[in-house]
Structure 1
Amino acid sequence: MFKVKTYNQISVKGLERFPRADYEVGSNINHPDGILLRSHKLHNEALAETVLCVARAGAGVNNIPLEQYTQRGVVVFNTPGANANAVKELVLAGLLLGSRGVLTGIEYVQSLNHLKDAAEMSKLLEAEKKRFAGNELYGSTLGVVGLGAIGSMVAEMALALGMKVVGYDPALSVDAAWRLPNRVERMENLHSLLSRADYITLHVPALDATKDMINHDTLQSVKPGARLLNFARDAIVHTAAIVDSLESEQGLGMYICDFPEPRLMGRNDVVAMPHIGASTAEAEENCAVMAADQLMEFIQHGNIKNSVNFPAVNMPRAEGCCRITFTNDNVSGVLGNVLSIFTENNVNVIDMMNKSRGNVAYNILDVESMPNDTIIDRLRRVEHVISVRVLPE
């Protein structure tokens, strides 16, 4: 029986994906094959020798020590796109809050609870409503930084609202490019986008390459009065630079984000939400289901989809065969050394796949018959091999 340890509260729909006859799932498992979690930080957690994979029910994986896990041959999954619609809808709310005096208007109305006469209140509001006037989104320009699953959905939504959309993504994948509406104008660099956009929305992951990408230098290019939306990660903006830009006559007009911090509080030009971008029942269910399915596919068949540290690999199992998978340092000669052991022992390889990503390589081999323990032990002792698994039919 396979074992999966859970952290945080995982949606029941995700937990129900695991067949009870084959999986033991719970928060008190000591020697799991897989880990399923949301935001729990694993950096200070001891990693059990039995762990094969970790699935984060969400997009960001900064709560997982990727380098350490990769060196151990542990595959880390995330769930890109599962919460995209939830974030997209909150971005729409952010755009509307940034374009009109909705929040200040509501606060003003709530301050009038001393008035008891409806006619008097109506007359006062008619006189004061001009204080909360704003602009329509229609015809304005939205700059989308990061054109992946969420960014492409936001771009499509903005086009449907009659906005013009410019986009920038230095790491745009082929799949993302196919999803992107053809009316999105691609910008060559971030500075060009910032100088064009009335509204800017960020949808990039938190990586070393994106840390503080919105900073004093990049904000020099911003269109005066532009609204900046950050529903991605707090680490991609330099908060002091945001405040300085808001206080400059030629800088930002408003900052709308999902990541409050003390220096942003008490400002009329900041709308800060309590990290609720993916906080919908539907998003949590979608993330949990995707994460569970990816764990099971890897544990049972060795296939990898949506990993952040291993290559994508999907090979249908040859009928009647035993499957061997192994991870190794991405150096030449390792696969040849493994295959030579099979040749010496008359183990017939029916099908195989080899993929690499960065410093790690991953291999699937379907063999005609189950190799004995001596052969598997020799595979594990091949230089640069990190881990070996045997997956019977």
Structure 2
Amino acid sequence: MSRRYRLPAGRADVDGDETMTTRVPAVSKVQAVVMYPPAMEESDLYELHRRFPGVQFHNIGYFEPHGLRDAKAKGRVTEEVLATAPPLTEQERETIADAELLMALDLPHGIREWAPRLRWVQAIGAGIGQLEPAKLKAEGIALTNAAGVASTPIAEFVIGRLLEVWKDIRVLERQQRSHIWEMHQGLLVKGKTMGIVGLGAIGRDVARRARAFEMTILANRRSAQPGDTDPDADELFGPEGLDEMLSRSDAVVLCAPHTPETIDLFDAQRLRRLKPGAVLVNVGRGSMIDEAALVSSLESGHLGAAVLDVTREEPLPADSPLWDAPNMYLSPHCSTASEGYNEALMELFCDNLERFLAEEPLRNVVDPDRGY
């Protein structure tokens, strides 16, 4: 993985100058701490300092274990779990306490109390539950996520998995291992219908790639009203049209974020609404699916296959029924790609930093009331 971020050029001002020099106060530097990536090269920090001369950057790696991150996201933090947090030196705590902005995957416990100058947190991913957005909002701290940064590799992953299912690649692999030369053909993708739940950055990129295979695209979006259209969908449905969309789709791709409304959205009743033989793909959040009902649907043959890159509990326990469910395609939350991620993330961060310094609206601001 390349660790060179190739910082993007600044947004041009009216006079054509692409630097931020004229926008940054010269008297007192803004303090910024980059907590992720954990270790940046000196040349990368130098480029940030050069690009934003009015900002003092610090790199303090902070990466919590999965159990602590998951407990924070689910509101189940205990003293025992907190004890697993990586330690910070006194100097590191003082540097973070003086920061006005942070870029981070995780935040140290209680940071809102001991970092009184903090005004903005740039998350490095789309998921922000572990950052406790409601509590940040209550302290007047802006939170922006990295929605869209990983949409391209995730969309590629979705299409790759669907081709694996419809072209029956597993059978061909078994035949190769057994030295069997026997004709086995898959299905035609052209003309199939894809239903997308959540037409955000990921859903939109999935739709565009599916269209290259001449598929019909149906999309569901929470804010859609009757009669609304979208350039990336042949038909657009609001919440009331979800079941109709499911009944017409050969593949249903879940790209929606975790919200109170999406928890168990696909329970046993809704799974029965899917077209017989359909493929269900989840690259959104594991909480969207009732996993026991999903296994039953696969065992009954109603559902043709399931592609899960996310599960309710991660890591997935070794005794989970999901492992051995028929026509199950599991992966350990890895549908994104490290290649190009840091570059895209830094591009977003630099754009938002320009906006922050110029007191302009930030991109990807999280609304805790919506959950994303």
**Fold match by TM threshold 0.5:** yes
Q: Does 1:145 align with 2:208?
A: no
The C-alpha deviation readout for 1:79-129, integer Å capped at 9, x for no partner, is 23222211111111121122122134324423x4xxxxxxxx4xx32x3x4
CA–CA distance in 1 between the matches of 2:285 and 2:255? 8
CA–CA distance in 2 between the matches of 1:89 and 1:17? 31
Q: Does 1:5 align with 2:33?
A: yes
Deviates more, 1:73-82 or 1:280-289: 280-289
Q: Does 1:207 align with 2:259?
A: yes
* Contact kept in structure 2, 1:229 and 1:257, CA below 8 Å: yes
Partner of 1:343: none
How far did residue 288 of structure 1 move?
A: 3.0
CA–CA distance in 1 between the matches of 2:142 and 2:58? 19
How far did residue 243 of structure 1 move?
A: 1.0
Give the residue type in structure 2 aligned to 1:46: I
Superposed, which structure 2 residues align to 1:157-236 within 5 Å? 157-172=209-224, 180-181=231-232, 183-184=234-235, 186=237, 188-236=240-288
Q: Does 1:69 align with 2:136?
A: yes
- Give the share of equivalent positions with the same residue, in percent: 23
Give the residue type in structure 2 aligned to 1:221: R
Partner of 1:30: 96
Gaps of 5+ in 1: 113-120, 311-356, 359-393
Give the residue type in structure 2 aligned to 1:66: P
Partner of 2:4: none
The C-alpha deviation readout for 1:31-54, integer Å capped at 9, x for no partner, is 22111123x3x4844322121111
Return closer, same or farther for 1:244/1:178 CA change in 2, 3 Å cut-off.
same
What TM-score do the two structures reach when normalised by structure 2?
0.70
CA–CA distance in 2 between the matches of 1:178 and 1:68? 36
Deviates more, 1:279-288 or 1:7-16: 7-16
Gaps of 5+ in 2: 1-28, 61-91
Return closer, same or farther for 1:190/1:178 CA change in 2, 3 Å cut-off.
closer
Q: Does 1:241 align with 2:293?
A: yes
CA–CA distance in 2 between the matches of 1:45 and 1:101? 50
| Structure 2 residue matching 1:59: 3-state secondary structure | coil
| Structure 2 residue matching 1:86: 3-state secondary structure | helix
Which of 343, 348, 354 is the aligned partner of 1:285? 343
Aligned length: 291
* Contact kept in structure 1, 2:48 and 2:57, CA below 8 Å: no
What TM-score do the two structures reach when normalised by structure 1?
0.67
Question: Which one has the bigger strand percentage?
Answer: 1
Q: Does 1:256 align with 2:307?
A: yes
How far did residue 70 of structure 1 move?
A: 0.6
CA–CA distance in 2 between the matches of 1:89 and 1:182? 18
| Structure 2 residue matching 1:271: 3-state secondary structure | strand
* Contact kept in structure 1, 2:308 and 2:329, CA below 8 Å: yes
**Pair member with larger Rg:** 1
CA RMSD of aligned residues (A): 2.8
